[in-house]
């Protein structure tokens, strides 16, 4: 580790995040704090990349000598076409959010799911074995979360989506990983009463539409764990309603920090300074 750190201090690490839009991202603030805390000389920049320029942008990662980049909406799936190696977890999930450049060889990883589970277990529910879980949404973020969830041994994971066929396809695709079932959002009232954990992976309730909630308040069972991947605002309308019903609530800040922490560790080989990263994101939000 000392050798790695010495090598890092002898160079200037070039990192960034690709997305469209991108100026709202808190990743630059978080990763610049991580570089500072670890004493690694480097720069982390926002990269506004449109869909039609994604292939060229990935070529630019090699040409410009980036050590790595994060990839965010809307490129997490499309970018898989342009990397050289895809980690097994990212391949299963069907999305890449972190790329590592090893002398021109680009490897794609997905740190969203493991980041989420680490945060959830630390902050809200320490053991997911035998739990009944209802996940709202089946998009890219949901896939990362559900894949990581199934590895924790829950009794059942129910995935609700506006289009039932999409959640049913996901359930069939991952049936060998655990007990997973798909349903439509209209069917949520039929399943929500028996769950221990409710997770919102949709964007409903995200700033600036912070008064919206993906489900009605009267459907939230008393005293369960309610988690929302959104971190802006930190307390969404769903979490506010859940708190009023005596639920343990969990927001997306920890997931965002930990997914970034795992990416930082892939790039540097160093332990991510999680406290410094969390503080930087919190200050940026404020």
* pLDDT tens by residue, 218-267: 999 999 999 999 998 999 999 999 999 999 999 999 999 999 999 999 99
Query: What phi and psi, each to the nearest 5 degrees, are found at residue 107?
Result: -115, 130
Question: If 0-12 CB within 10 Å is exposed, 13-18 middle and 19+ buried, where does residue 129 land?
Answer: exposed
Per the annotation, does 161 bind a ligand?
yes
pLDDT in tens, 158-177: 999 999 999 999 999 999 99
Per the annotation, does 216 bind a ligand?
no
What CATH class has 113-251?
alpha beta
In this chain, the answer to whether the domains covering 2-110+255-285 and 113-251 adopt an identical fold is yes
Bridge partners of residue 17, in order along the sequence: 46, 70
Per the annotation, does 121 bind a ligand?
no
* Confidence at residue 207, expressed as pLDDT on a 0 to 100 scale: 84
Per the annotation, does 112 bind a ligand?
yes
Per the annotation, does 268 bind a ligand?
no
The answer to whether residue 76 is catalytic is yes
* Domain range 2-110+255-285, CATH architecture: 3-Layer(aba) Sandwich (3.40)
Q: Of 5, 55, 76, 81, which one is the catalytic site residue? A: 76
Which residues of the chain carry a pLDDT beneath 50?
1, 3
* Confidence at residue 140, expressed as pLDDT on a 0 to 100 scale: 81
- pTM, rounded to two decimals: 0.91
Q: Could you tell me the residue ranges of all domains in the chain? A: 2-110+255-285, 113-251
């Amino acid at each position: 580790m000392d050798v790695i750190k010495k090598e890092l201090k002898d160079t200037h690490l070039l990192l960034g995040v690709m997305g469209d839009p991108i100026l709202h991202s808190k990743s630059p603030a978080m990763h610049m704090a991580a570089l500072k805390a670890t004493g690694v000389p480097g720069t982390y920049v926002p990269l506004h990349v449109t869909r039609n320029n994604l292939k060229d942008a990935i070529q630019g990662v090699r040409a410009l000598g980036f050590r790595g980049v994060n990839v965010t909406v809307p490129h997490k799936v499309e970018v898989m076409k342009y990397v050289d190696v895809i980690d097994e977890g990212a391949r299963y999930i069907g999305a890449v959010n972190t790329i590592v450049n090893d002398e021109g060889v680009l490897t794609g990883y997905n740190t969203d799911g493991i980041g989420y589970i680490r945060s959830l277990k630390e902050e809200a529910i320490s053991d997911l074995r035998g739990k009944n879980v209802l996940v709202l949404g089946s998009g890219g973020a949901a896939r990362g979360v559900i894949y990581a969830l199934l590895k924790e041994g829950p009794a059942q994971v129910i995935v609700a989506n506006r289009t039932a066929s999409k959640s049913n396809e996901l359930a069939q695709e991952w049936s060998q990983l655990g007990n997973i079932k798909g349903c439509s959002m209209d069917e949520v009232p039929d399943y929500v009463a028996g769950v221990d954990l409710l997770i919102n992976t949709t964007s409903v309730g995200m700033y600036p539409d912070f008064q919206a909630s993906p489900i009605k308040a009267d459907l939230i069972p008393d005293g369960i764990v309610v988690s929302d991947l959104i971190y802006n605002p930190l307390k969404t309308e769903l979490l506010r309603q859940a708190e009023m019903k005596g639920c343990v609530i969990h927001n997306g800040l920890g997931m965002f920090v930990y997914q970034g922490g795992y990416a930082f560790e892939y790039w540097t080989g160093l332990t991510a300074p999680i406290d410094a990263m969390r503080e930087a994101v919190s200050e940026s939000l404020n």
